[in-house]
Amino acid sequence: MTTLLFTHDSALSHVSPLGHPERVERLEAIKAALAAPGFAALARREAPLADEAEVLRCHAPEHLAAIKAARPTRGWSALDADTYMSPGSWEAALRAVGGAEAAVDAVLSGEAANAFVAMRPPGHHAERDRPMGFCLFGTVSIAAKYALDHHGLKRVAVLDFDVHHGNGTQDLLWDEAQAIFVSSQQIPLYPGSGHADETGAHGQIVNLPLRPGTGGAEMRAAWAPALARVAEFGPELILISAGFDAHRDDPLGGLNWTEADFAWITGAICDIAAETASGRVVSCLEGGYDLDALAASVAAHVKVLMERGQ
Ligand SMILES: [Zn+2]
């Protein structure tokens, strides 16, 4: 058993306007970090192009059509105040979905113990009918639905430790009794949702608001009981929305997590996966906007996945 890395150069062709924090250099920093000798054992795969119909597992046909129609032939098209498409964005977004689904296939077939999908644009802000917050498609939610509907799993978990609330994932999984969604986020912060009283149609959504300026101790105290609830739910697969913008050096977030905190939460999630899901974890990149902090945090995250995947 091993850890798989899914990525594709199309993620470098999703180009944002100058000065935009969600930029090509993020993926270049991650690629450089994972090229270090310590990651030689990481098995690497190209993220395949998802069929367009896969997007419809979570989104309205009108949403897919609108994103397709917004593809620019040059420059950018603005979908909202901070969400853009360049000519390469369509393929990149479809390969982000394809990579997440291929990662689900790989861990469910036993080809790999776990996987990290290093693609952009990110996905956890995209709602059923609208792109939002740098995100076009709800990648991790689509992968969760794929695991349930295509592979026939009965219970999956989606765990989101990005500093921003996964409002898109919450929207897409609100009615899904077979998916538990746990999200920690700084409040107040964009997008403004993610309060503890937002609990889903079946009480299967758990929001963990964190106060600005708090660090690893508060994060661990919030996540420990939530992870116990996940264990009780008994997921057969755990998906992670892995955002690294809760890092203390991140320019968009106001939390004080360190690489050690990302390693801790990764290990804690792998513990639950070992208990209920035969260790099966698929982690998808979300945010993280300080390049050095992002590279170091992804390295810490993937290192734990590799240790647990052996
Ligand atoms: Zn974020």
pLDDT tens-digit series, residues 97-106: 999 999 999 9
14, 125, 165, 301: the active-site residue: 125
Residue 157 CA, distance from chain mean position: 12
Kindly report, residue by residue over 159-196, the tens digit of the pLDDT: 999 999 999 999 999 999 999 999 999 999 999 999 99
User: If you measure from the C-alpha of residue 169 to the centroid of ligand 1, how many angstroms do you get, rounded to a whole number?
Assistant: 13
User: If you measure from the C-alpha of residue 257 to the centroid of ligand 1, how many angstroms do you get, rounded to a whole number?
Assistant: 13
Predicted pLDDT of residue 176: 98
The full 3-state SS of the chain, as one line of letters, equals: CCEEEEECHHHHCCCCCCCCCCCHHHHHHHHHHCCCHHHCCCEEEECCCCCHHHHCCCCCHHHHHHHHHCCCCCCCEEEECCEEECCCHHHHHHHHHHHHHHHHHHHHHCCCCEEEECCCCCCCCCECCECECCECCCHHHHHHHHHHHCCCCCCEEEEECCCCCCHHHHHHHCCCCCEEEEEEEECCCCCCCCCCCCCCCCCCEEEEEECCCCEHHHHHHHHHHHHHHHHHHCCCEEEEEECCCCECCCCCCCCEECHHHHHHHHHHHHHHHHHHCCCCEEEEECCCCCHHHHHHHHHHHHHHHHHHHC
Kindly report, residue by residue over 266-310, the tens digit of the pLDDT: 999 999 999 999 999 999 999 999 999 999 999 999 999 999 998
Kindly report, residue by residue over 183-237, the tens digit of the pLDDT: 999 999 999 999 999 999 999 999 999 999 999 999 999 999 999 999 999 999 9
d(CA 140, CA 130): 16
User: If you measure from the C-alpha of residue 286 to the centroid of ligand 1, how many angstroms do you get, rounded to a whole number?
Assistant: 6
CA nearest 169: which of 126, 229, 113, 106? 126
Q: How confident is the model at residue 23 (pLDDT cuts 50, 70, 90)?
A: very high
User: If you measure from the C-alpha of residue 297 to the centroid of ligand 1, how many angstroms do you get, rounded to a whole number?
Assistant: 14
d(CA 94, CA 139): 9
Is the pLDDT at 1 greater than 90? The verdict is no
Kindly report, residue by residue over 238-274, the tens digit of the pLDDT: 999 999 999 999 999 999 999 999 999 999 999 999 9
Mean per-residue pLDDT, 44-73: 98
Active site residue 63: no
Predicted pLDDT of residue 135: 98
User: If you measure from the C-alpha of residue 263 to the centroid of ligand 1, how many angstroms do you get, rounded to a whole number?
Assistant: 18
Burial of 284 (0-12, 13-18, 19+ CB in 10 A): buried
User: If you measure from the C-alpha of residue 1 to the centroid of ligand 1, how many angstroms do you get, rounded to a whole number?
Assistant: 31
User: If you measure from the C-alpha of residue 65 to the centroid of ligand 1, how many angstroms do you get, rounded to a whole number?
Assistant: 26
User: If you measure from the C-alpha of residue 109 to the centroid of ligand 1, how many angstroms do you get, rounded to a whole number?
Assistant: 31
- Cα dihedral value 173, 175, 178, 179, nearest 10: 20
Predicted pLDDT of residue 117: 99
> For 301, what's the count of Cα atoms within 13 Å in the CB-facing half-sphere?
34
Predicted pLDDT of residue 226: 98
Kindly report, residue by residue over 131-169, the tens digit of the pLDDT: 999 999 999 999 999 999 999 999 999 999 999 999 999
Beta bridge partners of residue 135, listed in sequence order: 132
